[in-house]
Amino acid sequence: ETGVTQSPTHLIKTRGQQVTLRCSSQSGHNTVSWYQQALGQGPQFIFQYYREEENGRGNFPPRFSGLQFPNYSSELNVNALELDDSALYLCASSPHVGESYGYTFGSGTRLTVV
Amino acid sequence: AQTVTQSQPEMSVQEAETVTLSCTYDTSESDYYLFWYKQPPSRQMILVIRQEAYKQQNATENRFSVNFQKAAKSFSLKISDSQLGDAAMYFCAYKETGANNLFFGTGTRLTVIP
């Protein structure tokens, strides 16, 4: 059983550019959530995907968007990057929507915007 | 809005000793879940322990136990017989029943002194 894998592990982008981060969910998990963790902070919920549709969103602007594919993997896209977007982006999967047994997290993508 | 507060940015403990990490939260809900996650330098969030709010009995997982005080909205984590591998950031998290996201605190950095 594989866990949650994220790619790339590190990324440097210039302000104004666009970025795509990728996540493969744990085997058997159909729900994927994305979190942003700024330096020295706890993760903040961006959005969740279930059955290829967005299933809830945190307080993030529309330039943060996502996709989920039939194999339950997911992408996080951020347009018009800002310096404050520099953070660790964590992907978490769960076997069911509304899961309350905790989530399985990946090791994240460290995004630096310069 | 739900908030999770961890008032101890840093804690240290001697190897083999016991340490308690504090967490308080604010909610108007009666049915919810609380979690402690560990984030080592590998960045992956690892579930340490989970508590269901409707259960009065405190959760335990080997050397890890919680003190859940529902009326006080307090959820502390006790680590017994601390080991060097316990050194990490520890995050307290809250989730409403049926909701799709976790609310995290700002974390406590635990150092284990040999």
Q: Mean pLDDT across chain B, nearest whole number?
A: 95
Chain B residues with CB-CB distance to A44 below 8 A: 104
Pairs of residues, one from chain A and one from chain B, whose beta carbons lie less than 8 Å apart:
64
Q: Give A5-41 pLDDT, tens digit per residue.
A: 999 999 999 999 999 999 999 988 899 999 999 999 9
Chain B residues with CB-CB distance to A97 below 8 A: 100
**CA of B101 to nearest chain A CA: how many angstroms apart?**
6
Chain B residues with CB-CB distance to A100 below 8 A: 33, 50, 52, 95, 97
User: Coil, strand or helix: which one is A31?
Assistant: strand
Q: Rounded to whole angstroms, how far apart are CA atoms B11 and B111?
A: 6
Tokens of A55: 């299933």
Residue A27's pLDDT is what? Answer: 87
**pLDDT band of A70, cuts 50, 70, 90:** very high
Q: Rounded to whole angstroms, how far apart are CA atoms A77 and A66?
A: 6
Q: Rounded to whole angstroms, how far apart are CA atoms B4 and B95?
A: 10
Q: Mean pLDDT across chain A, nearest whole number?
A: 93
Residue B95's pLDDT is what? Answer: 93
Residue A110's pLDDT is what? Answer: 97
Residue B25's pLDDT is what? Answer: 97
- CB nearest to A48's CB, from B50, B101, B106: B101
Q: Which residues in B74-87 are b (16+ Cβ under 10 Å) and which e?
A: ebbbbbeebeeebb
Q: Which of A109, A103, A110 is nearest to A25 (CA)?
A: A103
Strand partners, B60: B65
Q: Rounded to whole angstroms, how far apart are CA atoms A24 and A32?
A: 9
> For tokens 């059955």, what's the residue?
A51
Tokens of B72: 């006080």
pLDDT at A1 over 70: no
Q: What percent of chain A has pLDDT over 70?
A: 99
CB contact under 8 A, A43 and B4: no
Residues of chain B with pLDDT under 70: 1
- CB nearest to B98's CB, from A40, A98, A106: A98
What would the mean pLDDT of A43-72 be, rounded to a whole number? Answer: 95
CB contact under 8 A, B101 and A106: no
**pLDDT band of A54, cuts 50, 70, 90:** very high
**pLDDT band of A100, cuts 50, 70, 90:** confident
Chain B residues with CB-CB distance to A74 below 8 A: none
Residue B5's pLDDT is what? Answer: 97
What would the mean pLDDT of A68-86 be, rounded to a whole number? Answer: 96
CB contact under 8 A, B100 and A44: no
